Structure 1
Amino acid sequence: MAHSSNSSFFSLEEISKLKSSFEMDGLMRATPQIQKKLNELDNTELNIAVTGESGSGKSSFINAMRSLQSDDEGAAQTGTTETTMEPTGYRHPSLPNVCFWDLPGIGTIIFPTENYSKEMQFNKYDLFIIISACRFSENDVKLTKEIKRLGKNFYFIRTKIDNDLRSMRKRGRKFNEEEELEKIRNYCVRSLQKAGIPSPHVFLISNFDLNLYDFDLLSKTLDVDLPNIKRSIYTLALPNLNLEIVERKREELREQVWMMATLSGAVGAVPVPGVSLACNIGIVLKGIVHFRKCLGLDDASLQRLANEVRKPVEDLKAVVKTPLVGEITPDIITGLHWGLASATISAVELAFNNIPIIGSIFGAGSSFLVTYKLLTGALDDLTENAKRVVKAALGIDKNVPEQNQSMS
């Protein structure tokens, strides 16, 4: 996934101000703007509401998005009857600023339609996912009209597609799977259009095989529709279903590298012996821990993936070939082969990585360059190891092109 030179995190106006700050007063003037943006990345919340009628698979979808099984600690409670009595938030286990909200089914006796949006505090959610296991109801349509009135984005998910196809197979019916999926999708779209929803987004999903059917299309649609920082947060919170998602995460994290390095360059300009090196290592340590968590290489993420694919976690850990997944110490950082001994970088290399203030950054000196090289090397190393884990988890043939490799 390629990004334009106007970063996911900065608007064109912000980039213009950033360049002016560098040109006028160098790093010290621009650093607060970059620090503010990094703080936004740490503190911005993404709240996703998941609603629909009871028994539609809301809780199963929330668990799948967080790579949790129904019996895992912190999993949303599942069942065929309404188990949610109030809006219940479920935070992402690795990125707690991402929260999925399980909303009670609309149209029940407890939550009649006319009071639903007020009771559920619709204003606080960034987007809505409306789930149905069969056909979208009149209540679902009423719900979308209220969401639209508030100016929020909404998406329809038709779950349990695997059950529909399995039922057809059990009846011994011969059919073309792609044609049947298209029939189901078109039926949902036409029904919603007749009910007054002109251009509904409908995605066919299996909560137990997210990689199948329309999940990839759903994730890319949300990636486009979400604004700036929230788009990045969403991408980093996706489960590692295939190698493409891992690569998308690398591209998002790469945009954070130059900001971290610039902060290091600012501190490196302070004439205090030892301060520059100490700050470089501190920033690099924090960056590596963050990269590792987003790429699913921390112990908890590896265990969740092992549970999901029903393999021993030791099998996944065995393919990890980097010292960056254990305890990270300053000695490990200074010993990295892509680090302190190779702090040279070209304008072409920086331009390739879409840094919006290239010309000014070259005045930042060795502190910027060392930190940039260390973080870039660490990110690339961790990404390749994350891909090895995905291949081991999913039993992917190493000879198959990466773009074709996903859960099956």
Structure 2
Amino acid sequence: MGGASSRDQSAEASNTSLFSEDELKNLKSNFESGGVEKVTPLIQKKVNDLDNIELNIAVTGEAGTGKSSFINAMRGLQSEDKGAAKVDNKETTVEPTEYKHPSLPNVILWDLPGIGTVKFPANKYLKEMKFKKYDFFIIISHPRFTENDVKLAQEIKRLGKKFYFVRPKIDTDLDAVKRERREFKEEEELENIRSYCITSLQEAGISSPQVFLISKFDLHLYDFDRLSKVLEDDLPSLKRSVYILALPNLTLEIVEKKKKELKKRVWMLASLSGVLGAVPVPGVSLGCDIGILIGGIVHFRKCLGLDDASLRRLAKKAGKPVEELKAVVKGPMVGEITPDIINRLAWGATAVVVSGFELVLDHVPVVGSIFGAGSSFLMTYKLLSGALDDLTENARRVVKAAFGTDENDPK
């Protein structure tokens, strides 16, 4: 009994973490007082919230430090790509400029004008940048953090916002050191640079500064994974989910994180399919909403970087022909999703949909117990779960084909 209870609690936390504790209590009480009809609007609102929530990331610092390169890398773009931020050693930004994520336009990176220029001296800058609109700040500096960076951090802190210091171009710095010294230990040199940055910021009045060393060319190297984990921990749950889904597919670990986030949507979409005027799939006695199924699969595919535009960007980043990445993508989930494809998938699922009842309850003990009796819920849950598994496996193969490594393989 104890083991089963622990398993259920773990599954519940995994699948319902987009809901607060109060929201989960509200779901239960509404079901008890009004049944499925009273719960459905609450789940629909949560799905809408996920689709519409914005994440605004401010990237700031002095001119020529690598802000534009960082913004492009976070969006999986290179400087010559359409929509990329212009890379220049001179200050080219004269006002806050938004750069939307190419696949998830609600994720916006803002290139703020460099602090400390003639046009934007520090005091004027702090007043005019409208800091309150941003969720967090990345302060870019190279080769060292300056007095203006410290003033900027102190103002951000005063406003109650999070900020993180990033020193980019670390690979270029390491190459320069390597050429100068006969004996070179990369980890030791990285720690020396990191310690120097932290000490300098502490001496300037920043307590417990968080400093991350980032590559200009390979975002996933050095401290990027550590920066990403810190951001995930600091962001509220809905924005954390959006941030993870917007990450470029640079490692297998990122793919696995995305799957975990998308899995949280499966039971919500299945719940809606079970009660919102289910449209029967031709030839199948069990009903499910085709629009919800198709929309869910297309969204999963986009977040996992399997749409054509994402594959082209990744191929360019990896220096591989896009045909080489497309060659490892297999199965019906990567083509056009039509009612006919859903019909064929549903035929394969009908034999296991009844036996899947316990599986559903194991994975979603709170809401599964509410909707589990409905065949539409079970059918949609089964189809979406299978589609997500299939797409995740394709995304893993693409990352391996792009970068030729099993590093960070969670399997």
Pair 1:151 & 2:160 matched: yes
What is the Cα deviation at residue 338 of structure 1?
5.1
More deviation, 191-200/83-92: 191-200
Pair 1:402 & 2:409 matched: yes
CA contact (8 A) 1:258 1:355 kept: no
What is the Cα deviation at residue 21 of structure 1?
1.4
Deviation sequence 1:351-385 (CA, Å, 0-9, x none): 5535532322223x101000000000000000000
CA–CA distance in structure 2, aligned partners of residues 351 and 185 of structure 1: 48
Deviation sequence 1:117-159 (CA, Å, 0-9, x none): 3311111000000011211111011101111111111001011
What is the Cα deviation at residue 164 of structure 1?
1.0
CA–CA distance in structure 2, aligned partners of residues 102 and 308 of structure 1: 22
Change (3 A) 1:308 1:401: closer
- The 3-state SS of whatever aligns with 1:81 is coil
Partner of 1:112: 121
Partner of 1:80: 89
Pair 1:4 & 2:29 matched: no
CA–CA distance in structure 2, aligned partners of residues 187 and 276 of structure 1: 67
Q: TM-score, normalised on structure 2? A: 0.92
Partner of 1:343: 353
CA–CA distance in structure 2, aligned partners of residues 270 and 93 of structure 1: 32
Change (3 A) 1:25 1:3: closer
Change (3 A) 1:14 1:338: farther
Change (3 A) 1:10 1:215: same
Partner of 2:172: 163
Counterpart mapping for 1:255-404 below 5 A: 255-267=264-276, 279-336=288-345, 339-346=349-356, 349-350=359-360, 352-354=362-364, 356-363=366-373, 365-396=374-405, 402-403=409-410
Partner of 2:231: 222
CA contact (8 A) 1:23 1:360 kept: no
CA contact (8 A) 1:45 1:230 kept: yes
- The 3-state SS of whatever aligns with 1:181 is helix
Partner of 2:3: none
Partner of 2:205: 196
CA–CA distance in structure 2, aligned partners of residues 74 and 348 of structure 1: 47
Counterpart mapping for 1:208-247 below 5 A: 208-247=217-256
- The 3-state SS of whatever aligns with 1:4 is helix
CA–CA distance in structure 2, aligned partners of residues 2 and 215 of structure 1: 29
CA contact (8 A) 2:255 2:396 kept: yes
CA–CA distance in structure 1, aligned partners of residues 165 and 128 of structure 2: 21
- The 3-state SS of whatever aligns with 2:219 is coil
Note the residue ranges of structure 2 that are not aligned, 5 or more in a row: 1-9
CA–CA distance in structure 2, aligned partners of residues 105 and 33 of structure 1: 43
More deviation, 77-86/21-30: 21-30
CA contact (8 A) 2:273 2:288 kept: yes
Change (3 A) 1:291 1:68: same
What is the Cα deviation at residue 207 of structure 1?
2.5
CA–CA distance in structure 1, aligned partners of residues 90 and 399 of structure 2: 35
1:68 to 70, 77, 101: 77
- The 3-state SS of whatever aligns with 1:184 is helix
Q: Which amino acid aligns with 2:342?
A: I
What is the Cα deviation at residue 5 of structure 1?
4.8
Number of residue-to-residue matches in the alignment: 400
Q: Percent identity?
A: 64
What is the Cα deviation at residue 276 of structure 1?
9.6
Deviation sequence 1:266-302 (CA, Å, 0-9, x none): 125799x999977522111000000000000000000
Q: Which amino acid aligns with 2:392?
A: T
What is the Cα deviation at residue 252 of structure 1?
0.2
Q: Which amino acid aligns with 1:33?
A: L
What is the Cα deviation at residue 339 of structure 1?
2.9
Pair 1:51 & 2:48 matched: no
Partner of 1:138: 147
CA contact (8 A) 1:5 1:355 kept: no
CA contact (8 A) 2:301 2:391 kept: yes
What is the Cα deviation at residue 324 of structure 1?
1.1
CA contact (8 A) 2:274 2:288 kept: no
CA contact (8 A) 1:2 1:251 kept: no
Partner of 2:215: 206
Counterpart mapping for 1:33-48 below 5 A: 33-48=42-57
Q: TM-score, normalised on structure 1? A: 0.93
